Amino acid sequence: MSVIELPALCDRDAAIAICPELREAAGERAVRVDASAVERIGIAMLQLLVSAAHTAGGVAIVDPSDQFEEALRIAGLASKFNRGETA
């Protein structure tokens, strides 16, 4: 199973770049997203991940960085994602 790796800066441009990969990976199983490198994340990426979490098998976050976890906590989205194991 493939894992989509998020960049350090998860801004609008990064969300646009990752959207096709997320769409392709969506299926019956959760999409695995490695968030270990995330230093900053914007609303566009959060919206994309929430949208993916509501489709097909959802989103499993693998190895989230502290900054990623904090952004989810601040946005009230921590419960929207599964925590996965590294592949």
**pLDDT tens per residue across span 46-78:** 999 998 888 867 888 888 999 999 999 999 998
For 60-83, the DSSP string reads EEES--HHHHHHHHHHT-GGGSEE
Measure the CA–CA gap between 60 and 53, rounded to whole angstroms. Answer: 8
- 36 DSSP 8-state letter: T
70 Cβ neighbours under 8 A, 6+ residues apart: none
Q: At 45, which CATH number? A: 3.30.750.24
Domain count, the chain: 1
Could you tell me the residue range of the domain that residue 44 belongs to? Answer: 3-84
Report the distance separating Cα 10 and Cα 84, nearest Å. Answer: 20
Do the Cβ atoms of 38 and 8 come closer than 8 Å? yes
pLDDT tens digits, one per residue of 30-49:
788 999 999 999 999 999 99
